[in-house]
A and B are shown apart, each in its own frame.
Chain A
Amino acid sequence: MKTTTKLTVLAFLFQAFLTVFLSGCGVGKADSSAKKVIVIGFDGMDPQLLSQYMSAGRLPNFSKLAETGDFKELGTSNPPQSPVAWSNFITGMNPGGHGIYDFIHRDPNTMLPKSSTTESVEASRTVQIGKWILPISGGEVKNLRQGRAFWNYLEDHNIPTTVFRVPGNFPAVESKGRTLSGMGTPDLAGTFGTFSYYTDDPPPNRNDIAGGVVYPVRLSNNAFESRLVGPKNTFLENEPDATIPFKVWVDPEYNTAKIEVQDVQIILQEKEWSNWVQVSFELIPGLQSVSGICRFYLKEVRPNLKLYVTPINIDPADPALPISTPDDYAKEIHKHCGNFYTQGMPEETKALSWDVFDYDDFLSQSDNVLQERLLLFNYVLDSFEDGFLFFYFSSTDLNVHMLYNMIDPDHPTFEIEQALKYAEVIPTIYETADAVVGKLMARIGENTTLIVMSDHGFAPFRRAVHLNTWLKNEKFMTLKNESKQAESQFLLNVDWAKTRAYSLGFNALYLNLENREKSGIVKPEEKEMLLRGITEKLLALRDPKNGNQVIHRIYRAEEIYSGGKLENAPDLVIGYNRGYRASWETTIGSLPLEWIEDNLDRWSGDHCMAAELVPGVILANKKLNTLSPKLYDLAPTILAEFGISKPDVMVGKTIFDKNLL
């Protein structure tokens, strides 16, 4: 060997040794004294409930944080809906900047509702071979939120970021940091969560159930066979559902069942959950398949068989859609923590609303979600070294949606026996949140800023307002066929040539404006008068049941929004009073016969009301410099903590008082 070659080899070996040795010694690792900012998001944590439980001494860590730092109400977004609120948080803008105005937007060209947060674009070029359709160009799912996420600005300054399940970040936007998508992430079928329910006693309303599908089965020799339904097979003509068979055997005497799906065997007793099961749906035999995960819940064996299966979640070990950055972050979490819900809103509220679950079933499922989230929290916290960390908990939101009637004696579904039985559920969840805060406070150093926040608070949802019915009663809307008023959805029965205003989504009211809507009839010069007329009448609305004011406040888009993405803005944002909310029917363009009725759904608490009635919370280990911090203040505040100036597009301001540090 020549001398130069030998020297090169030696140099290489020395370099390799140095790399291994130094990395083993921790050289090059983050400085433990480096600046850290940790934000914990408890969706829907309510200031009134929080204060109540703190006063009762049940939340010592929250109390300690409030005493040593600060605790204030946090002004929510307008409207106060999670995708809007979290987009305010993410971008430091209001909806005029990020373009998310509601869970549901409407397409003025079709007058149909559409998702506000994501859009699926199918492959533009395909080749058909027999029954198979093969894409030449790739389809994609788009995140419709505009504006840069604040963590992108941090990354510009080489600050490490971990953003765990922040809502409204699906698909996860491009990032140099570690992110996992949250609310808005679909299940494998592309829905926000569709459960399956196999039973030999199908409920009479089984065809009406939203968010789930009931599959009637018949036991023969104590066994039945059925199929798990997965994604649509877009490689086949007419896109049939991809399915996989499974078989269930029931013991003739005991309340136990054995389930076989693909190569997995499960034994469950009544009221037991299986672990996560990985299933693979074959799309093109031998060539293309998609992997998902689900859990089985044996609700009942006798007298009737009732088997619930969770929505098929995207498999974190082999994600079919972009749920993380980098792509393998989801796999990394899976490797350390096992399977977990990837679906955006995992708590099974629909099954409870439709009586597929009772409260105990729901609570066992939502506890699964919470325990899993706590496990993930521990992992994420342990692997966080420095920079920025956001972690999200959903339990403070969806459980309160479903159990608010247990703490609201005025709710039409309030029952004293149930209330006594489940009275502790919400405070216990807050206590779990308190333990999370306690853990963080024990671990953080002096150079760490800790912010605990929520996107909105809560209020009772006692009465459901059918806003489109009211618009029709007040002659702002005309139907094509009056006799079919209650049957139609998606405003399909509306006579657009005679309709001046309509509502879609939870707080939005639109005019049928000429040159904007497909068949718009309201001329620009009529707009102001019409908006005033509708506003006056809505504010004067009184509940026929008790005489209460139904609408607290109405906001004009131009008064509350600023930015370059105003095209989807509603003309009026309806701020319902506490106790009132747009009905589920209104959100999808249906018109029941009465304009208001009792909310008999188990979804008994809500926040889609006037923004000032449902503020969120902020607690921090620093003093705030304002009495009325807002959600969109947090992005510039976090940037300021790292010494980064506020970008011009952000509307918020920093809220930490430098003089009080």
Chain B
Amino acid sequence: MEIISTILNSFFGFLFFPFKTLAPVWGMLFVSFASGIIMLLIFKATSDQAGIKKAKNKVRGHFLAIRLYRDDLGLMFGTVKNLLISNFLYLKKAFRPMLFLMIPVGIILLHLAGRYEKRPFQIGETTVLTLRLAENTSWEQLKKVEIDVPDGLKLETPPVRIVQLSEISWRIRVEEQGEYWVAFKLADHVVKKKIVVNEILLPLDSKVTRSSFSTLLSNTDESSLPESGPFLAIEMRYPKREFDMFGFELHWLLSFFLLSLVSGFAFKRFLRVEF
């Protein structure tokens, strides 16, 4: 699984590389249009194209019948019933390719979310960095945890240590652009969390945990925490990215669906896909 994750991360890294330094909308435009085309091809390959065409023609026919026989109530009801059945058959035909589409769309969304849901820090911003330790970690143990903050970041406060939650939090201010690794140490155990201070489009992880299904889906180069150590998770919050599409504030998810739909309709005839 980790290999797949690495391959996908490299692939999307490559895909987004030309757009890293451009306004985020350009990467979104490219990926959405490309996704529209890829989804068309997957749909074509995994669906019964002839069956879909037939089902759609039936639906069209029933619509026509409704318009023609609108004065005949009995016939109308019968046609509506047939329309519903044809519609259901159409949906049935579309269901299989939709299942196939779920996986690539899910992966695309995951990698888009990593880039568009949050943005890297900007100089002067602060964040709360929280280290969670194994349950029932003692106060004496909590007191021994050390934090190492590299130049470019500034540790602004002493820790707030919460014994009942086995966690410690600090406030950090970012002072220079760059990618930083903050280290936490308890006895011989050392773990790190990456903090990105930049204006470019990068995948971001707010949280690192011990290895789990969610860490396999991670789209950054941060490795999960060791299973055996005292640390459970390191967490912080990147600022929410305000996605701007040529002056219109749209949620990135909505933008993606709209743009990929436009792409799908635009290339539908060219690729001879029936949907």
Contact = CB atoms under 8 A, between A and B. Distances in A.
Interface of A: 221-223, 249-254, 256-258, 265-269, 275, 335
B53 interface: no
Q: Which of A250, A253, A258, A266: most chain B Cβ within 10 A?
A: A258
A258 B169 contact: yes
A251 B128 contact: no
Interface string B1-29: 00000000000000000000000000000
B164 interface: yes
B169 A267 contact: yes
Given A267-B169, A267-B171, A256 B128 contact: no
Given A221-B164, A267-B171, A258 B128 contact: yes
A249 B162 contact: yes
Nearest to B169: A258
B158 A251 contact: yes
B161 A251 contact: yes
A267 B130 CA distance: 11
Given A265-B128, A265-B130, A267-B128, A252 B161 contact: yes
Contacts of B161: 251-253
Contact of B160 (A221, A250, A275): A250
A253, A257, A267, A335 — most chain B CB neighbours (10 Å): A267
B94 interface: no
B210 to A, nearest CB: 22
B157 A269 contact: yes
Contacts of A252: 139, 161, 163
Contact of B169 (A253, A265, A269): A265
8 contacts: A252-B161, A253-B161, A256-B158, A258-B160, A265-B130, A267-B171, A268-B157, A335-B242
B237 A265 contact: yes
Contacts of B126: 275
Given A258-B162, A267-B169, 9 more contacts: A222-B163, A223-B162, A250-B160, A251-B159, A252-B139, A253-B161, A256-B159, A267-B128, A267-B170
A256 B171 CA distance: 10
B162 A256 contact: no
Nearest to B249: A335
A12 B185 CA distance: 65
B125 to A, nearest CB: 9
B53 to A, nearest CB: 28
A256 B164 CA distance: 17
4 closest Cβ pairs, A-B complex: A254-B158, A267-B171, A258-B160, A265-B128
B164 A251 contact: no
A256 B130 contact: no
B130 A269 contact: no
Contacts of A267: 128, 156-157, 160, 169-171
Interface string B135-150: 0000100000000000
Nearest to B165: A249
Given A265-B237, A267-B128, A267-B169, A256 B157 contact: yes
A263 B126 CA distance: 15
Contacts of A223: 162, 164
Most central of A251, A253, A257 by chain B CB within 10 Å: A251
Contacts of A221: 163-164
Contacts of B169: 258, 265, 267
A254 B160 contact: yes
B160 A251 contact: yes
Contacts of B156: 267
A256 to B, nearest CB: 5
A278 to B, nearest CB: 11
